[in-house]
Structure 1
Amino acid sequence: MITRDPQAFLAHACALAPDFGPGTARAAFLVSPDGFVRAEQSAQDNRYMATADAFDAGAALREHHGLHRALSAELPVFCFPGHEDTPDAVFPNNVFATAPGRLVIGRMRHEVRRREALRSDIRGFFRDVLGYAETDLSAQPHPCELTGALVIDRARGLGFCGLSERCDEAGAALMHDAFGLRATLMFELAPGEYHTNVVLAVLAGRAALVCPGGFADPAVVGALEALYGPHAVMLSPAEHAAFAGNAIALAERSVWMSRRARQALSAGTREALEQRAGFAVRSVPLEAIEAGGGSLRCCVAEVF
C-alpha cells in the first residue's frame, strides 16, 4: 500500500506485526566533514542552515570524530572520507541507504549533492566487499532523498514520506519499491520543512518522536499518535528547533541525539523516553555540524 489517506494507512498498519525485519541496524557508516562549508544550493530550501561565517570545519571534524567514537561503543561504525567538492557529504543518509542485501542510491534535488551519488568507493564497498545488490535511483528525474525524506519503521516495514521539493510522489513510490515496504504514507510537510527526519523519528519500531508543527495535516500526527500509542512523544517547538526530532535508535534500548537536542528536552519528554519507553538518551556535541542544517540522525547511514 502507498497512500495519502492517513486513516486507510493506519487501519492497514495496525494489522501488521513487527516481523518485517530488525528494528535497528547491524552497522552504520559516516562520511567525514572534510571541506565542510555552507553549500548555497542546499541553503535555498534548508532554513536550518547557518550563515557562512558560522561554519567551523575544524570544530566539525572534532565533533565528527567524537560521534564516530561514541556510536562505535554500540555497534560497528565505519567512516568514508569527505571531499571539498561535496560540502554536504557529512549527511550521507540522504544519498545512501540499505535494505538487507541491497544498497539504495537516492536522487538528490541539488546538483552539489548529486555528486555524492557518484562515489565509486562507497558503491564498491557495498558491491564488492559486502556483496550487496544495487538499486540506483540517482539518474532518474524524480527527487527522492532517501531516509531524509522517508522515515522507515524497519520492524513493521512502514514508510512515512514527507513531500517537498526534496521528494515528490513519484520519488516516494520509487523508494517504497526500493526498500520493499509493506505500506507508505505520503503527506505534505509544513511550509519551511525540507526533510521528514527533522520532524519525525521512529525508534526501534516501538516509539516515535513527533514534531507536530512539521506536518501540514494534523491528521498525519493523529495517525502517528494512534499507531505508536503511549510511546508517541509529541515534541514542543523548542525541542523541534533544537533537532530533537532528528534522533535515531541504533540499539533496542538507547536513542541518540545531539547535545543541543538533549538539553532542550522537557522533563515530560525525558520521562516518556526513559521511563515509559525504556530508552537511555545518549548524546554528543554537534553544534558545529548542525550549522550545516542537519543533526545526528542525518550523519548516520544505517547498514541492514
Structure 2
Amino acid sequence: MRQITDAILMVRPVAFRMNEQTAVNNYFQKDLTADNVNERAQKEFDEFVIKLKNVGVNVIVVNDKLEDDTPDSIFPNNWVSFHENGDIGLYPMFAENRRKERRLEYFAKLEEEGFQIKIIVDYTEAEEHDVFLEGTGSLLLDRENRKAYCALSARADEDLLIEFCEDFEFTPVIFNANQSVDGKRKAIYHTNVMMCLAENFAVICLDSIDDKKERKNVLKHLNEDGKEVIAISEAQMHEFAGNMLQVQGTDDKFLVMSARAHKSLNQELIEKIEKHCKILSSDLHVIETCGGGSARCMMAEVFLPKS
C-alpha cells in the first residue's frame, strides 16, 4: 500500500466565503468583510494548482456550481476518500450546506483520466441521526500500516469511525484533541488540523492531546511504525502547521503547506522535515482565514487504480 500519491482532486470555488454553519465549532474561521473574497480565493487556488503541477503532481481540477451555494466546496477531502482497491468512501457532513458538495459527477472526470472505480461505500445516511465522520479531515490514514488516527469531535463519531475501520480494514487509534478558546479547552474540529501523517514522519501537536494516556498511545503507534515524530506547538497549529500533506512529484516528494504554516516553522523543524522531503508552500491567506482550513483540506488524494 502506498502512503502518498501523485494524483490530487481539487475543486475550484465559485461561492467561497466564511461558512456560518461551520463556524459554530471551527474556531480557526474568521470573517473577511471584503467584497471580493471569492475572487481572491480563486486566485490563491489557481496559483496553488500551478505550483503543484510545476513539480509534477497530477492535479485534477473540477469546478463548483454557483447555483448550489457551497461556500466550503474548496475542501473536498471532507466528503470523499479514494482507495487503492478501487473503493470510494462518501462521508456524512456536520453542516447541512456542505452536504451539497458531494457530487458524483466528479467521479466521471476521474474515470476519464483512467482511474477505476469499483464500489462506493456510503456512510451519508448517518446524517439523519446527527452522526458525522468528515472524511480525511476526521481520519488520518496510515495506509501502509492500516491505522486510522482520529480525534473525536462533533464531526468525528467513534462508532462510525469503528464501522469505517471494519469496512476498510484499518485499526482505529482514537483520542481527544483540544485547543484553547476564550480560556476553555474545546475539541479541535478535524484531526488533520493538529496532525499530518507522511511516509516516514508525522507532524503533530502533542500539546493538544490533554490526556497523557491518549498521548502516550498515539506516540506508541507512531514509534512502532518507524515514524519520526516532529512536534509542533499549539501556536504553530493555529498557523495551520499541522494541516499539511505529503505528495509525490515527478522527481521528488514534497510536504505541501500554506505560506503561513511555512513561516511559523523554525529552522530546526524545517531541517527535520527536509531530511525526508522538500517543502512546497503557497499563499492561502483568504482561504485559511474565511474557510478555517488550509492546504491539506484542499487536496483529496486519489489512490484509485488506473486501467
Q: Could you say which TM-score interval applies, normalised by the shorter chain?
A: 0.7 to 0.9
CA pair 238-284 structure 1, distance change in 2 beyond 3 A = same
Amino acid at match of 1:131: Q
What residue is the counterpart of 1:299 in the other structure? Answer: 298
Q: CA deviation at 1:238?
A: 2.4
Distance in structure 2 (CA, Å) of the matches to 1:80 and 1:124 = 11
The answer to whether residue 25 in structure 2 is matched with residue 45 in structure 1 is yes
145, 156, 169: which one aligns with 1:180: 169
The one-letter code of the counterpart of 1:286 is L
Q: What's the counterpart of residue 269 of structure 1?
A: 269
Specify every segment of 5 or more residues in structure 1 that has no aligned partner in the other structure, as ranges.
1-20
Is the contact made by 1:286 and 1:296 (CA closer than 8 Å) also made in structure 2?
yes
Alpha-carbon distance between aligned partners in 1 of 2:213 and 2:274, rounded to the nearest angstrom: 27
Q: SS where residue 26 of structure 2 aligns?
A: coil
Q: Is 1:207 aligned to 2:179, yes or no?
A: no
The 5 A counterparts of 1:142-181 are: 142-181=131-170
Alpha-carbon distance between aligned partners in 2 of 1:52 and 1:288, rounded to the nearest angstrom:
8
Q: How many residues align?
A: 279
- Report the TM-score, using the length of structure 1 for normalisation: 0.86
Residue in structure 2 matched with residue 280 of structure 1 by the alignment: 278
1:250 matched residue in structure 2: 247
Tell me, yes or no, if structure 1 residue 114 matches structure 2 residue 99: yes
Alignment of structure 1 residues 13-32 onto 2, 5 Å? 21-32=1-12
Deviations 1:49-100 (A, max 9, x none): 1114167211110110111111222321111112341110100000011111
Alpha carbons 1:28, 1:300 under 8 Å: kept: yes
Equivalent residues in 2 for 1:57-76 (5 A)? Answer: 57-72=38-53, 73-76=55-58
Please give the secondary structure, in 2, of the residue aligned with 1:43. coil
Q: Which residue of the partner structure matches residue 182 of structure 2?
A: none
> What secondary structure is seen at the aligned counterpart in 2 of 1:170?
helix
After superposition, the C-alpha distances for 1:237-260 in whole angstroms (9 at most, x for unaligned) are 221111010000012732111001
- Aligned CA distance change for structure 1 residues 221 and 269 (closer, same or farther; 3 Å): farther
- Give secondary structure in 1 for the equivalent of 2:33: helix
Within a 5 Å distance, the mapping from 1:89-104 to structure 2 comes to: 89-100=73-84, 101-104=86-89
Q: 1:124 to 1:138 in 2, by over 3 A?
A: farther
| C-alpha distance in structure 2 between counterparts of 1:105 and 1:236, whole Å | 32
- Show CA shifts across 1:172-205 (max 9, x none): 1232134332x1111222124100000000012x
Aligned residue for 1:41, secondary structure, equals: coil
SS at match of 1:255: strand
The 8 Å contact of residues 127 and 134 in structure 1, kept in 2 or not, is answered as no
The code of the aligned residue for 1:77 comes to: V
Report how far residue 123 of structure 1 moved.
4.0
* Structure 2 unaligned residues grouped into runs of 5+: 179-185
Q: Distance in 1 between matches of 2:101 and 2:278?
A: 33
Query: Is the Cα contact below 8 Å between 1:146 and 1:175 reproduced in 2?
Result: no
Distance of aligned partners of 1:36 and 1:227 in 2 relative to their CA distance in 1, 3 Å threshold:
same
Aligned pairs for 1:221-236 within 5 A: 221-229=215-223, 231-236=228-233
Give 2:192's aligned residue: 197
Distance, in Å, in 2 between the alignment partners of 1:79 and 1:241 is 28
Counterpart-to-counterpart distance in 1, 2:158 and 2:261:
31
Separation in structure 1 between the aligned mates of residue 61 and residue 163 of structure 2, nearest angstrom: 27
How many Å separate the matches in 2 of 1:71 and 1:146? Answer: 22
Q: How far apart are the structure 1 equivalents of 2:39 and 2:101?
A: 21
Q: Name the CA shift for 1:127/1:169 in 2 (closer, same or farther; >3 Å).
A: farther
- Quote the Cα distance in structure 1 between the aligned partners of 2:280 and 2:220: 26
Shift of residue 126 of structure 1? 5.0
Cα RMSD of the aligned pairs, angstroms, is 1.9
Residue deviations 1:193-249 (CA, integer Å, cap 9, x gap): 100000000012x10001123324233333343444472011022211110100000
- Tell me how far apart the structure 2 counterparts of residues 52 and 269 of structure 1 sit (CA, whole Å): 31
Q: CA deviation at 1:152?
A: 0.7
Letter in 1 for 2:63: P
Letter in 1 for 2:42: L
Q: Confirm or deny: 8 A CA contact 1:144 1:175 kept in the other structure.
A: no
- CA–CA separation in structure 1 for the residues paired with 2:216 and 2:279: 25
